[in-house]
């Protein structure tokens, strides 16, 4: 049956194509970890107390750590549907924050409780895109799922470094940074939703070659680690400049 799956599978059922797509999605999967880089500006902009700022941060963490509903949605409707839902939640959360920062005049100066709701939306969206990505990659690489999921999760941590560098480039325009983050998240989720089909993922898993795939995954991981080291050096250079 595996031979038949390999022969009959469509061209889109390529595990490397799927891996590349998931890497793009997870490249924005850790944006909630970048909260600390702009939290002081947020605190000043809305005249928040430290307790209120902490509540906003906790709201984001709460959303990113409650994911049972995302697992149920992914199992029932596939990763594309989960990514579409995450796109709506995350895009909405970031765009509402952008509006509150002055992007829409009627939403300026909202009470801090609204910022908690926006952060909750952002956090739950991160969880949704992560769940869709992890289940996808585990099915596409069933014999190398540890290596493949580890590689993809590395992108979650790297995404915070990417966001930090975008913030440095956009500073002091916090509103521009938030708008860029919203666009990046919506774009990544839309890209993943368009390319990740449940049938292709299962067919790709049936075509896996564990012995050949392991060194290729290790080589890709080495590149990701190299990129992380580069961004770390960039951050240190900016810190001591």
Tokens representing 30 are 């850790």
pLDDT score of 14: 87
pLDDT score of 185: 96
The SS3 assignment for 235 reads helix
pLDDT score of 72: 96
For each of the chain's 241 residues, which pLDDT tens digit applies?
444 444 455 555 688 999 999 999 999 988 888 888 889 989 988 889 999 999 999 999 999 998 899 999 999 999 999 999 999 999 999 999 999 988 666 566 678 899 999 999 999 999 999 999 999 999 999 998 898 999 999 888 888 888 887 887 777 788 999 999 999 999 999 999 999 987 788 788 888 788 888 888 989 888 888 888 887 787 778 778 7
Q: Is 78 left (phi over 0), alpha (psi -120 to 50) or beta?
A: left
If one counts every other C-beta atom within 10 angstroms of the C-beta of residue 132, the result is 30
Of the candidates 177, 191, 178, 52, the residue with the CA atom closest to the CA atom of residue 129:
191
Secondary structure (H, E, C), 138-164: HHHCCCCHHHHHHHHHHHHHHHHHHHH
Q: What does the alpha-carbon distance between residue 39 and residue 70 come to, in Å, rounded to a whole number?
A: 28
Q: What does the alpha-carbon distance between residue 82 and residue 95 come to, in Å, rounded to a whole number?
A: 20
pLDDT score of 234: 77
pLDDT score of 233: 83
Burial of 236 (0-12, 13-18, 19+ CB in 10 A): exposed
Task: Check: CB of residue 115 under 8 Å from CB of residue 56.
Answer: yes
């Amino acid at each position: 049956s595996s031979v038949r799956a390999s022969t009959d599978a469509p061209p889109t059922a390529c595990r490397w194509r799927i891996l590349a797509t998931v890497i793009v999605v997870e490249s924005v999967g850790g944006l909630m970890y970048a909260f600390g880089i702009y939290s002081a500006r947020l605190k000043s902009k809305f005249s928040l107390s430290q307790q209120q700022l902490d509540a906003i941060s906790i709201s984001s963490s709460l959303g990113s750590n409650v994911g049972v509903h995302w697992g149920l949605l992914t199992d029932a409707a596939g990763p594309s549907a989960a990514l579409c839902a995450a796109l709506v939640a995350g895009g909405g959360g970031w765009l509402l924050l952008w509006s509150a920062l002055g992007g829409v005049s009627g939403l300026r100066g909202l009470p801090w409780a609204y910022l908690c709701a926006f952060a909750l939306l952002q956090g739950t969206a991160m969880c949704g895109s992560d769940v869709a990505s992890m289940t996808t990659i585990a099915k596409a690489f069933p014999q190398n799922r540890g290596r493949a999921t580890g590689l993809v999760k590395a992108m979650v941590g790297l995404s915070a470094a990417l966001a930090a560098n975008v913030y440095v480039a956009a500073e002091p325009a916090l509103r521009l940074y938030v708008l860029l983050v919203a666009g990046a998240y919506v774009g990544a989720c839309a890209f993943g939703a368009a390319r990740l089909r449940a049938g292709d993922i299962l067919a790709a898993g049936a075509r896996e070659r564990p012995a050949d795939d392991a060194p290729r995954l290790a080589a890709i991981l080495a590149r990701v680690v190299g990129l992380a080291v580069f961004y770390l050096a960039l951050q240190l250079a900016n810190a001591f400049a």
